[in-house]
A and B are shown apart, each in its own frame.
Chain A
Amino acid sequence: MAGVVFDHVTKVFPEGTVAVDDLSLDVADGEFLILVGPSGCGKTTALRMVAGLEKISAGDIRVGDVRINDVPPKDRDVAMVFQNYALYPHMTVEKNLAFGLRQRHMPRHEVTLRVSGVAEMLGLHDLLHRRPGQLSGGQRQRVAMGRALVREPKAFLLDEPLSNLDAKLRVQMRAELKRLHHRFGVTTIYVTHDQVEAMTLGDRIAVMTGGRLQQLGPPQDVYDHPANVFVAGFIGSPPMNLFAADVRDGSVTAGQLAFTRTGVPNGATIVGVRPEAMRVNGAADVHTTVRVEVVEPLGDDVIVHGTVDARAAESGAEEEDALLLADGVDTARAAVSMRVDPATGVRVGDEVPVSIDPARIHLFDATTGVAIPAGS
């Protein structure tokens, strides 16, 4: 086992696209690191560079102490699980599992031993003589995991391994992955665009967009203290509500929202509020009124979508479709989401009074998007 280090790594594709831009990242030995970001942010390219499937344009990648830029994929001793599993369709499960070991000329009896060990652990024993085409999605996923595990590699690379599973199976496999990681403690880099996976699985998460690393830290830290407006808008579901605000001598105004914060420069700024920080009928200091348009009961919580009297700000993490939908909507009011207790009994059409604890309001620079720390 070994850590993985990205040292100012850049990837430029021949046609000129910069997929990864000066990425520096230190994955500790045994760590479970999540690379998360919207599609096209360079996370998969970063992973493929570790695997040796993409050449590194600049910078170094090290596995353990070895610089692997020029090491061919087979000698890097890393294993990868692909999004579509990439199981060899013409081979049985057993042969799929054994393929990597056979290529390394491992003695036959040891191959058998390892394959049956992994098969036992993943519950694949009854499936060893089937072909991938005869397996369910979840079983294929486990075979793909097994094919990586059986090699006992220095690092595990997973490229959206759960995205082809249905929702229920995904939750199961998520727990399974965590269990496997605890058991083996192999350094793991996991690429996903699903922030629930990012939050639940990782020791740390690295948020990327446009080929650049935006923030690196434990999931809760990233959630609680987003480094910039992009991370704020990307992590969290529903995402953080963002409003354009104006600061004058420490008093911040975003439409109806008004509060004071010391040490904030005058001028335009962006105010961010997590959906769960908005309390219906609460007694906190900052008040506004939400006009309720959609109510989504989740059982334990209710997600309320509505508008407030403020101007919306964009994080750059919005889905394109959402922007299209927002087109033509009254710009004098900003869309807002709240996570509230079902007991509040909010209904569509209500105008509900909402209060926010000023300590839970985030501020971002309007031009750079960088977070303005509280009380600075």
Chain B
Amino acid sequence: MSIAVTDRTAPGAVDTQTLPGETGMVERPRARWLPFSPWHLLLMPTAIVMLIPLVWMLATSLETIGQTRHFPPILWPGRFQWSNYTATLRAAPFARWFWNTTVVTTVVVLSNLLLCSLAAYAFARIRFLGKQVTYFLLLATLMVPLQVVLIPTFLIVKRMGLIDHLGALIVPNLANVFGVFMLTQFFRTLPIELEEAARIDGASRLKILFTIVLPLSLPALATLAVIQFLWTWNDFLWPLVTIINNTNAFTIQLGLQNFQGAHATDWNLLMAGNVMATLPMLILFLAAQRWFVRGIATQGLKG
């Protein structure tokens, strides 16, 4: 046995793992007729199709009003009219709307992380009467589209006196079932011995959640944060229903829609607003793409 051992670092030594004629053991370099995977031939045109609206939006935001009405559309204005952006900011309280959206999104994301964690931990680890039924009912609500519960939720929010107020955007979204479901599934994958060890070490349930479970769940929490951020930032229908007269409580999406109505013809200004509204999303998406993809991949759910 021992004589077969060769020093791989010695010059001229035979690498026993890549003996000539041996197949199956060694990954042979694939014959390459393209400098990239053939899949890219399909993916690249698809990516371009996806990019066109973004490019068009960006281009329009830098065009003169005349150029925006040209047919076929101009995708390269030649001279960039940067003043569209300042004009947009002057034409409507964009800063206010940005701030509103940021407040709503931040509060909703943070409260989701907290509340969904608490609920998910209970579902994942604590035995209580009716746990299975409650969990099933909660999951069932995932199948109900927003449009179905829109009016009942509206009535509740109205009763709470939150119409035309940022609270209307925050309160119904403080926690959501998707987050509970996602975190429950994740918590269940953590080794239970860690929590048992902590229990014997003297930690309470809450302490275990915050010092053991959550620090180990950062990937899941990051994923949930990103998904929730996207949903809340981009939400249009709910703000449209609940913020009616108070333009001071508009979110950016609502503001843009309003902008479109008031200045129907100023496509360049509208697109400048759109670019500004989309930018935080793009940045977040690029930065957190890894978590986002993982979230969809591991949960098998549409984001």
Q: Contact residues of A with B, CB < 8 Å?
A: 51-53, 73-74, 76, 78-80, 82-84, 86, 88-90, 99-100, 103-104, 147, 151
Contact = CB atoms under 8 A, between A and B. Distances in A.
Nearest to A90: B215
A123 B45 CA distance: 61
Nearest to A14: B127
A356 to B, nearest CB: 39
Contact of A86 (B191, B203, B215, B216): B191
B44 to A, nearest CB: 39
Contacts of B212: 88
27 contacts: A51-B200, A52-B199, A52-B200, A53-B199, A53-B200, A74-B200, A74-B201, A74-B202, A74-B203, A74-B204, A76-B200, A78-B200, A79-B200, A80-B197, A82-B193, A82-B196, A84-B191, A84-B193, A86-B193, A86-B194, A86-B196, A88-B194, A88-B198, A100-B200, A147-B197, A147-B201, A151-B201
B158 interface: no
B31 to A, nearest CB: 40
Contacts of A73: 199-200
Given A100-B202, A104-B202, 5 more contacts: A86-B193, A88-B198, A89-B194, A99-B203, A147-B201
B263 interface: no
B58 to A, nearest CB: 42
Contacts of A147: 197, 201
A90 B199 CA distance: 17
Contacts of B204: 74
Interface in B159-211: 191, 193-194, 196-204, 207
A88 B202 CA distance: 14
B282 to A, nearest CB: 31
A99 B202 CA distance: 9
Contacts of B215: 90
B199 A74 contact: yes
Do most interface residues of chain B lie in helix, strand or loop, or is the interface mixed?
helix
Nearest to A84: B193
Q: Which 4 A-B pairs have the closest CB atoms?
A: A103-B202, A100-B201, A86-B193, A74-B202
A146 B199 CA distance: 17
Interface string B131-160: 000000000000000000000000000000
B216 A90 contact: yes
Contacts of A89: 194, 216
Most A CB within 10 A of own CB, among B194, B197, B198: B197
Contacts of A103: 201-203, 207
A199 to B, nearest CB: 27
B126 to A, nearest CB: 14
Nearest to B207: A103
Q: Which one of A53, A76, A104 has the greatest number of beta carbons of chain B within 10 Å?
A: A53
Contacts of B200: 51-53, 73-74, 76, 78-80, 100
Q: Which of A83, A86, A90 has the most CB of B within 10 A?
A: A86
Contact of A82 (B197, B203, B216): B197
B83 to A, nearest CB: 51
Interface string B38-70: 000000000000000000000000000000000
A311 to B, nearest CB: 42
Nearest to B195: A86
Contacts of A151: 201
B65 to A, nearest CB: 56
Nearest to A148: B200
Nearest to A78: B200
A151 B197 CA distance: 13
Contacts of A80: 196-197, 200
A92 to B, nearest CB: 13
Contacts of B201: 74, 99-100, 103, 147, 151
Nearest to A157: B200
Contacts of B199: 52-53, 73-74
A181 to B, nearest CB: 19
A73 to B, nearest CB: 5
Nearest to B196: A53
Nearest to B212: A88
A86 B212 CA distance: 11
Contacts of A52: 199-200
A352 B290 CA distance: 70
A104 B204 CA distance: 11
Contacts of A99: 198, 201, 203
Contacts of A51: 196, 200
B204 to A, nearest CB: 8
Contacts of A90: 215-216
A109 B198 CA distance: 22
Interface in B80-127: none
A100 B204 CA distance: 12
Contacts of B196: 51, 53, 80, 82, 86
Contacts of B202: 74, 100, 103-104
A318 B25 CA distance: 39
A175 B290 CA distance: 47
Contacts of A104: 202
Nearest to B193: A86
A113 B26 CA distance: 54
A110 to B, nearest CB: 15
Contacts of B216: 89-90
A89 B197 CA distance: 12
Contacts of A53: 196, 199-200
A55 to B, nearest CB: 10
Interface in B190-242: 191, 193-194, 196-204, 207, 212, 215-216
A147 B203 CA distance: 14
A53 B216 CA distance: 22
A76 B221 CA distance: 34
